[in-house]
Amino acid sequence: MRWLVTSIRLLLIIVSGFLLSVVALVSLPFNKSGSVYFWVGSSWSKFILWICNVRIVVRGLDEIDRNGNYIIVSNHASVFDIPALMSIFPRLRIMFKKELSYIPVWGWAIKYGHHILVDRQKGTEAMKSLDRAAKAIAEGGQVLLFAEGTRTRDGKLQPFKRGAFSLAAKSRVPIIPVAINGSFKILPKGSFDIRPANIEAVVGKPIDTTNVRTREDELKLMENVRSIIQQHYVESTP
């Protein structure tokens, strides 16, 4: 019976995503600020969480301006991390793999919208994506990066990559560390079995990056952010 419920949920997510992507695409020429585009993303995220019976508990949000310019750095345990964070931060830009832009309608909304595509196969293109991200932050809002680079397979916090911290050096924008707990049990990597549960997001205080200039500075910043996330992160088991 559970597979039927999961199938219905996935169908509703896909259909609603298609319809809302059409709305997002149509809005782009007429709504340059992106307010409609981001509203669509936030609304779809909240719908996904609701239809899957996933509740979010947020801690530390009163320490920041939700509409401020930040680099959001988080651990990554499940595809549910994205809707969870998009429901918390109203103008969140996400760095997606270039391959996702090939998905009809939904991928086009990513490609032509306010998110940022990354070509992981080419180092020069990956660096250009960081430049685009820095420009996007300068225009307002937030950019999300999962510092581990990919989802954990065992529920443990993985080593961090430098991308988010190179972006900090380019943009001089504060970093907000976020520890996400509970999402791994909802939908582990490689699984399609959605298991409703609560997600806890622990939002840290902004970390100043104006003095991050060298590779050594980036590595120190990376270690600092990882230690903060590790402090609030609760390891999960499959």
pTM of the entire structure? 0.89
Supply the pLDDT for residue 40. Answer: 95
Instruction: Give tens-digit pLDDT for 188-226.
Output: 677 777 888 899 999 999 999 888 888 899 999 999 999
Q: Which of 11, 169, 200, 23 is nearest to 108 (CA)?
A: 23
Instruction: Give tens-digit pLDDT for 48-71.
Output: 999 999 999 999 998 888 888 889
Average pLDDT over residues 134-153: 82
Residue 78, pLDDT > 80, answer: yes
Confidence class for position 125, pLDDT limits 50, 70, 90: low
Angle formed by the axes of helices 81-88 and 35-51, to 10°? 130
Of 168 and 216, the one with more pLDDT = 216
φ/ψ (deg, to 5) at 100: -70, -20
Q: Is the dihedral of CA 209, 147, 170, 144 positive or negative?
A: negative
Supply the pLDDT for residue 44. Answer: 95
**Which CATH number does 2-232 carry?**
3.40.1130.10
The residue ranges of every structural domain in the chain are 2-232
Read off the DSSP letter of residue 208.
-
Average pLDDT over residues 89-109: 87
Compute how many other C-beta atoms are within 10 angstroms of the C-beta atom of residue 80.
24
Supply the pLDDT for residue 37. Answer: 95
Average pLDDT over residues 172-200: 86
